[in-house]
Amino acid sequence: MKENMLPYNKPNINWSEIESWDRKYYLHNTQAQNEYVFFPIEAVDKNYLYLPDGKRLLDFQSQLVSDNMGHRNQRVHDEIKMAMERYGHIFFGLCSDYRAKAAKLLINDIIGNENWAGRVRILSSGTEAVENAMSMARLYRGASTILTQELSYHGLVPGATQLDGYRGNLTKDTFSNESHDVPGFPDKRYVNIPAPEYSDYINKGILPSLKETEKIIKHIGSSNIAGIITETMFGGASYMPHTDYLKGIYDLCKKHNILWILDDVLCGFGRLGEWFSYQIEKNIYPDLLITGKGLNGCALPVGAIITSREIGEFFDKARWWSGSTHDAHPLVCASIVGNIESMIENDIIKTTRTKGKYLHNKLLELKYKHPCIGRISGRGMYYSVDMVDLNGEPIIKDDRKTRFTGNLSNNPNNIFANFCIENGLFAGGFMPNTIKAAPPLTISIDEIDFAIDIMNKAFTYIEEKFH
């Protein structure tokens, strides 16, 4: 791409100076300093990331399956700019028009017809929403235990970490195969239930994971359990559970009178082809719905909790001493308003379904060509593709149970990602054998075709390396 075609004015930045400051002062996560890869991005726009050398990358994973409406979405940015004419920050004891508008859009306009949702609280991140939802469930139920799925991901701070398979563990040096949990893990108030079966599991009767979950509920006693927190399509572990699972969890919660806390931070706002992931099934509604990411497409840091009517009424009567300086920040609320209005105006859920089907078919075509492609699972605009050896087994044996030790640059996901980056595509994932295809919902068919062409070549490269 020529510089004069850039969608921004080229800034005068000394990138080698920036690199030296970044390397010297910033505390990088997930990489040790000796393996840290400096990856500068000069600007983002629509579905692309722009590098200082003038190249651009098509973002095929929406960053962390988060930037749903493309980068610097015009409508969202206009709304934030307008809000900045009147607002900076005000605290939660005061109300901006944007806070009330965002709440009305969420509770009334999007899901009002379902008649289950009571209130919404807007926060600064998905993790913060998860943490608050745990407290709300415990206060409402008067019980402390939270059941949480193996392999799930809900954030990486000490509380949310207790919910995760990927639990803030530390590998002390890059040559070590040892990994250490944050001390205090596991907290007995969090109990693992089995991870759901994969989408291609051949099921006869009740899923084994659900049978085992019911045993655990009976063993602990439902009066001691506040709720079960679940992901629908897993974000960290990147797979879509078996179709019997979601309804099965809901039924268990109802049968045993425990709360269903649905963490829809990643799957909400069109990602799975619905506003929210529980809508995949008919007539099942969560007690607490946690959202973030797609709520404003990450134009600003965001998270939120939507309560059922009953839980809303419980907190209506109460004086709950909770809050953060950044609760319902007016600029964040403006970004939510801009994002939801633009999703409604552009009928994004419907177009996501059509374009998502196209993407899924293209991925299935790749599977016929490539023996290194195993399971493909997903829905809407989020698919995961597992890479396998010649026997159809995971190339890296730990697979989704990885503790991120050893030389990660040899893992298929990273080799795949680097090949794609060399060829103008930003695609990959954290699991060693799995890549995500989760572009912004604003992706065009031509852009999907471009990505599939690069992925086709990348899978050939994986076969050359591992088969």
Ligand X SMILES: Cc1ncc(COP(=O)(O)O)c(C=O)c1O
Question: In whole angstroms, how close is the CB of 236 to ligand X at the nearest point?
Answer: 7
Residue 187 CA: distances (Å) to CA of 2, 183, 263: 55, 10, 20
Name the minimum Å distance from CB 426 to ligand X.
17
Tell me the Ramachandran region of residue 307: left when phi exceeds 0, alpha when psi lies from -120 to 50, beta otherwise: beta
Q: At what angle do helices 309-317 and 126-141 cross, to 10 degrees?
A: 80
Min. distance of Cβ 14 from ligand X in angstroms? 31
Q: Which of 159, 235 has the CB closer to ligand X?
A: 235
Q: Judged by CB, which is closer to ligand X: 73, or 127?
A: 127
Q: Which of 96, 127, 277, 413 binds ligand X (CB under 6 A)?
A: 127
- The amino acid at 309: R
Choose between 199 and 423: whose C-beta lies nearer to ligand X. Answer: 199
Cα 314 from Cα 420, distance rounded (Å): 50
Distance CA 258, CA 249 (A): 11
CA separation for the pair 430, 408 (Å, rounded): 10
Binding part of the chain for ligand X, among 122-130, 251-259, 410-418, 455-463 by CB under 6 A, reads: 122-130
Q: Which residues, numbered 362-421, are part of the site for ligand X (CB under 6 A)?
A: none
Length of the chain: 467
CB atoms < 10 A from the CB of 145, how many?
23
Name which of residues 3 to 62 contact ligand X (CB under 6 A).
none
Q: Does 155 bind ligand X (CB under 6 A)?
A: yes
Closest to ligand X by CB, 64 vs 139, is 64
Among 103, 259, 265, 366, binds ligand X (CB under 6 A): 265
Q: Which residue is nearest to ligand X (CB)?
A: 126
CB 171 within 8 A of CB 404: yes
Q: Nearest distance from residue 156's CB to ligand X, in Å? A: 8
231 is a contact residue toward ligand X (CB under 6 A): yes
Cis peptide before 158 (omega within 30 of 0): no
Sort 293 into a burial class: Cβ within 10 Å, 0-12 / 13-18 / 19+: buried
Other Cβ atoms closer than 10 A to 413: 24
Of the two residues 66 and 423, which places its CB atom closer to ligand X in the complex? 66
Q: How far is the CB of 126 from ligand X (least distance, A)?
A: 2
**Strand 373-379 with 303-308, pairing:** unpaired
Provide the minimum distance between the beta carbon of 175 and ligand X in the complex, in angstroms, as a whole number: 28
- 74-113 residues near ligand X, rule: CB under 6 A: none
| 235 lines the binding site for ligand X (CB under 6 A) | yes
Please report how close the Cβ of residue 160 comes to ligand X at its closest, in angstroms: 7
The first and second tokens of residue 299, run together, are 């134009």
Cα separation, 301 vs 324, in Å, equals 13
Query: Of 383 and 461, which CB lies nearer to ligand X in the complex structure?
Result: 383
How many amino acids of this chain bind ligand X (CB under 6 A)? 15
What's the closest the beta carbon of residue 235 comes to ligand X, in angstroms?
Answer: 4
Stated as kind and residue range, the H or E segment containing 121 is: strand 117-123
Using CB under 6 A, which of 6, 51, 64, 344 touches ligand X? 64
Shortest distance in whole angstroms from residue 287 CB to ligand X: 17
Cα–Cα distance measured from residue 460 to residue 95, given in angstroms and rounded to the nearest whole number: 56
As a dihedral over the C-alpha atoms of residue 210, residue 213, residue 219, residue 222, rounded to 10 degrees, the angle is -100
The 3 state secondary structure assigned to 125-142 is CHHHHHHHHHHHHHHHHC
For ligand X, which is the closer residue by CB, 430 or 459?
430
Q: Residues in the site for ligand X, rule: CB under 6 A?
A: 64, 125-127, 130, 153-155, 231, 235, 263, 265-266, 292, 303
